[in-house]
Every structure is written in C-alpha cells, then in structure tokens.
Amino acid sequence: MTPEGNVAVTQRRQRCVTVWTTDGHCLGEFGQDLLQCPTGLGVDRSGRLYVSDEEENDVYVFHQTGRISHRFSDTMKTTLCQPRYVWCSRSDRVLVSDSGNHCVKVFNTHGKLLFHFGSYGNKDGQFKFPYGVCADQDDNIIVADHYNDRVVLFSPCGEFLQNLVTSAKGLNRPCGVAVRSSHTRKLHITHGDLMSLEVVVFNMVPLEYHIQVDMEQNV
C-alpha cells in the first residue's frame, strides 16, 4: 500500500510494477526498462518503492512517480541470491528475504547492509528458502520459512524467539506474511502447496514476552 492508499503490485512476467486504486483502476506502470524478474515490494514512509529482483539479485528503489532513485548495488556489492520479499519497517530498515542464501538481510534505506541472520537447515533460527518477511510495531521480525512449513518470530536484532505457526496448524509452504496492528494484532499468511491458495489470519496475543497464536479465520 502506498501512503495515498493505492496498491502497488509486482508483475513478474511483464517485468514491471503497476499501481492500482482499491476499486481496480490502473494508475500506471514502470520499471520495464530495468526489471527482469520483480518479486517482492515494500513501501517506506516517504512513499518510495523497494523492489527485489530475483534475476538481477538486487533491490531497486523507485520514487512514487516511477523514476529510479537507486539500486542497493550502487552503495556496495550485494551478495543477494534470489531475493524474494521486501518489507520497510517503521524504523527505516529494509528487510529482504535472501532466499537463495537461506537468510534474511537487514539494510538501511540507502542499501547499506546492517546485519543478517539465518542459515540453511531446519533447526531454530535456520531456514529453507525464506519467503515473506515483515515486522510488527515493536520491530520484531516475522519470516515465512517456506520449505520448513513454518512462520517464525525473531527479535529486532535477528535473535530467534519462537515458531509462531507450523505445519501442526495446517500451514503448507507459507509465502507472504503481514501484520496488521489493532487492538489485537493480526497475522496474515498466504500459503498452499504449489502456489498460495489460501489466506489464513491469526490473532497474536502477547503472553509473558512470548506470542500465543490463535487461528481466527480462513479466507
């Protein structure tokens, strides 16, 4: 969502980003001359769009007008491999699921790497191709650990806290994750076998510095 309430969408086959009103009117598209395989997309507080490109192994930053601002590789050589999803936190950090490297990398808005966490495996704090990534209002980091069939909670500095949702609750190949803060925080997850076929919504209830996750509904 842009600050104006419009919806920005990556279109992999068309190699571009499109922007839509919530009633389905296309406002424009951009990035065709730069993007090869756009995947994730995040929007910061100023309205700039951060787009991960799975083939270019880079993150492109665009102004709201569609004009390129910079690439993360302009600041330093990136070591991204098949970056999937992007999230811009309230503290001006950019989270990128570095899927091919089985980790999550945290950058500043200029593309400087601040830290990363995770490695290949199925133990606590490890990933098998992380996909969706987001942060809650306390900057805790939530990751969809795709091939481990779980969604995991980390501290703002990347310390493993706990598994939030696993296959025991029916989760299968989670892809996108997002948190909506209200009186009760709600965790939205897209999942499915070969492709995401369902959105599941959970209530996140703080309980003695841990998170108890209860199913709310399926979509």
DSSP reduced 3-state for 5: coil
Q: What is the pLDDT of residues 105-131, one digit of tens each?
A: 999 999 999 999 999 999 999 999 999
Q: What is the pLDDT of residue 50?
A: 98
**Mean pLDDT value of segment 32-41:** 96
Instruction: Give me the percent of the chain exceeding a pLDDT of 70.
Output: 92
Q: What is the pLDDT of residue 174?
A: 96
Helix (H) or strand (E) holding 73: helix 72-75
**Mean pLDDT value of segment 163-173:** 94
pLDDT higher at 38 or 76: 38
Mean pLDDT of the chain: 91
At 215, the pLDDT band (50, 70, 90 cuts) reads low
Single pTM value for the model: 0.91
Specify which residues 105 forms β-bridges with: 96, 116
* Positive/negative CA dihedral, 121, 40, 82, 147: positive
Query: Does 64 score more than 50 pLDDT?
Result: yes
Spatial CB neighbours of 94, under 8 Å, sequence gap ≥ 6: 42, 44, 50, 59, 86, 87, 88, 106, 107, 108, 109, 111
CA distance 53 to 83: 7
Query: Does 209 score more than 50 pLDDT?
Result: no
Helix (H) or strand (E) holding 87: strand 83-88
At 214, the pLDDT band (50, 70, 90 cuts) reads low
Query: What separation in angstroms does the CA of 212 have from each of 36, 164, 203?
Result: 40, 7, 8
Q: What does DSSP assign to residue 74?
A: H
